[in-house]
Chain A
Amino acid sequence: MTARRKEAWTALLFVSPWIVGFSTFLLYPLLASVYYSFCDYSVLHSPVWVGTANYTTLYHDEVFWKTLGNTLIYTLMALPMSMIVALSLAMMLNAKVRGMTIYRTIFFVPSLVPAASLAILWLWIFNGQQGVVNGVLQPLLDATNGLLHLLHIPAALSAPQWLSSPVWSKPALVLMGVWGSGNAMLIYLAGLQDVPQALYEAADLDGAGWWAKTWHVTLPMLSPVILFNLIMGIIGTLQVFTVPYIMFPGGSPERSTYFYTMYLYDNAFVYLKMGYACAMGWIMFLIILVLTLVALRMSERRVYYGGS
């Protein structure tokens, strides 16, 4: 046996766990999922081919559209908010302030909180009667009301019903997402620290102010990292499940927090419509794929990849 062939056999031995894992836990489910999506399947009996029936039913399924709409709206609200907050925090930390590591820890730690604990904690914070957010907000609003009354403006501002109003349930989740954006902040910070100092010095010589430097040096240099966080954010946010599942059983109030993956999960494991759930999975995959391609396409001229 030549040395080359021996190396190939040894390599095969090394990589064998992944060959098994890849084919069993990725490739097989992937192919089976395509097949099931064209079947009536409940796990209790073997799948029955129904053609495109699952997809056409989805098209006429009001709840499907509702959950898809909820998910897209939530993503449009949550993703820009968390990205802006994470980027702003990272830029402030990068300004070489004293105590940077302490601030960094403070901003990062909330993102470590496990999703289930996060949901329970914020249920308490947003609680209707004894919640601390409204415990602080309501006196402030009462004072504002009083002030407006003095000006003969009738006002009765009251604190938002975070958990029971369909208008406020999504913003509540957005706030929680912003609180947990420390992970993205760390990635931005690492990117910012990689920007060559020489570029700022050159900009200084040209008399560039803070804005000009941010706009013409920092953001272009950071654009690959921003794109990475954007794509990861799209993939993650579209799949939001645990936090709303625990906080808002059944997507209450008025299904305003009934998200795509929650409906998919319910179809699979509550209604045992597993073929239907697979069809939903593939539509989600397509949406993610399209959005990712759009993000890549739109960024083509805006993202700067350095020489390295």
Chain B
Amino acid sequence: MALTVERPKSRGLGQRNAWLMHLALMAASVLFIFPLVWLIMTSLKPVEDTMKVPPVWIPKVFHFENYPQAFVYQSDQLGYIPFLVYARNTLVLAILTVSGAVASNALVAYAFARMRWKGRDFLFAATLATMMVPFPVLMVPTYALFKALHWTDTFRPLWVPAWFGNAFSIFLLRQFFRTIPFELSEAARIDGCSEWGIFRHVILPLSKPALAVIALFTFMGTWNDFMGPLIYLTRQELFTLGLGLQAYQTQHGGTPWHLLMAATTMVIAPVLILFFFTQKQFIQGIAVTGLKG
């Protein structure tokens, strides 16, 4: 008696479908990775190779000297482009905003998540409501405010606000703080711990992953910000990398693409390096933003 049992097609994909899936994923991967490969290849080419049609895919010799040359490039319009100064400016801003964001948002989120006070729910609702306001609405009065303080053409408009909390970060941290068992706070309180002591010695040590996410997002926000520096900075020695990159390009014709691509690579590289070292926090952080919505 031959009994044929039809095997249920469970456990994902059949052999043939798995191959098709890999093929599709590989094709998509090539398309997604290509622009970055092209960026790096161009940055290593001699200038003649950037002008050839059909394109030179891989230069015969890698011209690593393009990288130091991008530091000392003279543009027709702006003269010497101090790339290292831009890099330093951006880094200083990033350090100031990241430290401010971690410190202020942790404090504020703690009060929202784990303390009782009048007006808490109202202020939290107001905080959430303003998250939807687009920046262009606030742009002009904020500029006028900083102008009145004589803060334009300084870094202050770009980092001082970070020390006073951010709606999105407060929300994210509050959600995290609420997942920490309240019994821990009670136990500490019975042991005579002050509210600050609980915050400092119980909550903060347990919240390192969430604080890392805030630090990462703030760093990315500052590193990527273009509009802020564009509005507030007019003196070239204060420019950030984003504004600086634009300076290579605005001259008419004759853009030194190999040097510009070297400079662009150096702007992108820190972000990518940071990502590869903190992948777990990064991916979890982004996943959380979607699921809490």
- Judge whether B111 and A14 touch: CB under 8 Å: yes
User: B99 CB to closest chain A CB, in angstroms?
Assistant: 13
Complex CA gap A301/B241 in Å reads 47
Q: Residues of B contacting A183 with CB < 8 Å?
A: 286
Contact B261 A124 (CB under 8 A): yes
For A112, give the chain B residue with the smallest CB separation.
Answer: B271
- 1/0 per residue, CB under 8 A from A, across B1-36: the answer is 000000011101100001001101100110011011
A235 partner, pick from B50, B123, B132, B279, beta carbons under 8 A: B132
Q: Which residues of B contact A292 (CB under 8 A)?
A: 132
Give per-residue flags for B243-282: 1 if the beta carbon is below 8 A from chain A beta carbons, else 0: 1011011100000010011001001100110010001000
Residues of B in contact, count (CB < 8 Å): 97
Task: Please encode chain B, from 148 to 192, with 1 for each CB lying within 8 Å of some chain A CB and 0 for all others.
Answer: 000000000000010111110010000000000000000000000
Q: Which of B28, B127, B164, B267 contacts A17 (CB 8 A)?
A: B164
Fill in one digit per residue for A177-197: 1 if any B CB lies within 8 Å of its CB, else 0.
001001100111111001000
| CB neighbours of B279 from chain A (8 A) | 105
Least CB distance, B168 to chain A, in whole angstroms: 11
Q: CB-nearest residue of chain B relative to A267?
A: B140
Residue on B with the closest CB to A236?
B134
Contacts of A190 in B (CB 8 A): 286-288, 290-291
Shortest C-beta distance, A284 to chain B (Å), equals 6
Q: Do B134 and A285 have beta carbons less than 8 Å apart?
A: yes
Question: Chain A residues near B287 (CB, 8 Å)?
Answer: 186-187, 189-190
Docked CA distance A95–B10 (Å)? 12
B18 touches A278 (CB 8 A): no
Chain B residues 214 to 259 lying within 8 A of chain A, measured CB to CB, are 220, 223-224, 226-227, 231, 241-243, 245-246, 248-250, 257
- Taking CB as reference atom, which chain B residue is nearest A229? B290
A95 in contact with B12 (CB, 8 Å): yes
Is chain A's binding surface mostly helix, strand, loop or mixed?
helix
Contact between chains at B108 and A112 (CB < 8 Å) = no
Q: Are B135 and A239 in contact (CB under 8 A)?
A: yes
Chain A residue numbers with a CB within 8 Å of B164 are 17-18, 20-22, 24-25
In the complex, A225→B292 CA distance in Å? 9
- B132–A288 touching, CB < 8 Å: yes
Mask: chain B, 86-120; 1 = CB below 8 Å from A; 0 = not: 00000000000000000010011011100111101
* Complex interface: chain A residues within 8 A of B271 (CB): 112-114
Query: Min CB distance, A279 to chain B, in Å?
Result: 10
Does the CB pair A15–B111 fall under 8 Å?
yes
**Interface residue? A26 (CB, 8 A):** yes
Please tell me if A12 contacts chain B, counting CB pairs below 8 Å.
yes
Check B268 against A113 for contact (C-beta < 8 Å).
yes
Among candidates B118, B134, B136, B139, residue contacting A8 with C-beta atoms closer than 8 Å: B118
A204 with B163: in contact, given A17-B107, A17-B108, A186-B283 (CB under 8 Å)? Answer: no
B141 touches A29 (CB 8 A): yes
Q: Do the beta carbons of A109 and B272 come within 8 Å of each other?
A: yes
Is A224 in contact with B293, judged by CB distance below 8 angstroms? yes
Given contacts A43-B140, A238-B134, 10 further A-B contacts (CB under 8 A): A11-B120, A22-B130, A27-B130, A30-B133, A89-B28, A95-B13, A116-B242, A116-B267, A122-B35, A201-B10
